[in-house]
Amino acid sequence: SRIRTVWDTRITIRDLFQSPTPALLAEHIAAGSGGNPLDTVLPIRAARGRDAGEAPLFCFHAVSGVSWGYAGLLPHLDAGRPVIALQARRLGGTEGAPDSIEEMADDYLAEIREAQPHGPYHLLGWSFGGLVAHAVAARLESAGEEVALLALLDAYPLPDGFRAPEVDGRHVLTALLGSRGASVPVRCADTAPDVAELAEALRRSDPVLAGLDQAQAAAVVAATLDNLRMRYRYVPDVRYGGDALFFDATGTPAAQSGAAAWAPYVTGRVEEFAVDCEHARMTEAEPLRTIGEVLARRLRPARI
C-alpha cells in the first residue's frame, strides 16, 4: 500500500511473494513485470526446479477461492520447502470454472502434477479447501502415487441429514469475513446476493482484500458464491487410505471431532491437534504458528 501511495506503482501480493526482499522487489518493479494475485496457481515460495529441492506443500483455498493467507506458514517451514497455493479458477472468469468439487479436484490434480509429476505429495486445505485436498489425495492414491501428508484445517464433511440453505448476501459475507460479516451493512443481506454490492462492502471491510480493484473483488464474491453452493451439495465420493492430520479450531465448537467426522472417508489414522482460535482466524499469525510447527515436524525431507 505504501509503495502504491508513495511511488504510484502498481504491485500485487503475488509480486511480494515472488520478490520477498527490498532489493528483489526493486528489481521486479524496475523490470516492469507484475503478477496476477488471483491466478489459479500461486507460488507463495517458488520451487527451484523439478530436479532439485524439497517436494512442495500444495495448499488449497478456503471458500473465498483466495489462498494468500498461507504465506503465514513460510517462517515456520524449512526454507527449502516450496509452498504452492491453488486458487479458484472462477477468479479469472467463468470459462473453465468447475461446477462441482469433484471437477475442481480433477482440475487441481492436473495442475499439481504439472508442477510435480510424481510423489511423494504434501497437501493442505483449510475448511472448503480441506474437502478438495482430501479428494485430490484419494485421486493421487488411486493413481498409485504416494501422499506423504494430508493436513485438514478445521475442514468437515457435511453431517448426515444436512439441508442446504438458500444462499443470501449475509451467507457470502460471513463466509468471507467470519463473525465480522454479520455486521456489515448491505441491502441484500436477506435476499439473493448482489455481487457488485457485496464486492464494494468487501473492499470497505477487509484491509487485505481492499487492495483489489472492484472487478477483482467481484470475482472473489462470485467465486465464494459458487463455492458455497458446491460445498452445500458435496458428499465425498472417494475414500483415502492413508493417515491425516486434523487441526481443530477450538474457538468454534463442532458437533463431533475431526476424527469422527472423517472416519467414513479416511481409512487411516486421523491425528488431531487443537488450535486456539475461531474457524475464520486459522490463517492469522498465531494459529499458523501452531499449525506450522506441527507441519515442520511432519514434513519429511522428500526430494523431487
Catalytic residues: 127
Burial class (CB in 10 A: 0-12, 13-18, 19+), 171: buried
Give the integer Cα–Cα distance in Å for 179 and 75: 28
| Exposure on the CB side of residue 204, measured as CA atoms within 13 A | 12
Beta-ladder partners of 129:
none
CB 70 within 8 A of CB 283: yes
Task: Please give the backbone phi and psi of residue 273, each rounded to the nearest 5 degrees, phi first.
Answer: -135, 130
* Distance spanning both ends of the chain, measured CA to CA: 37
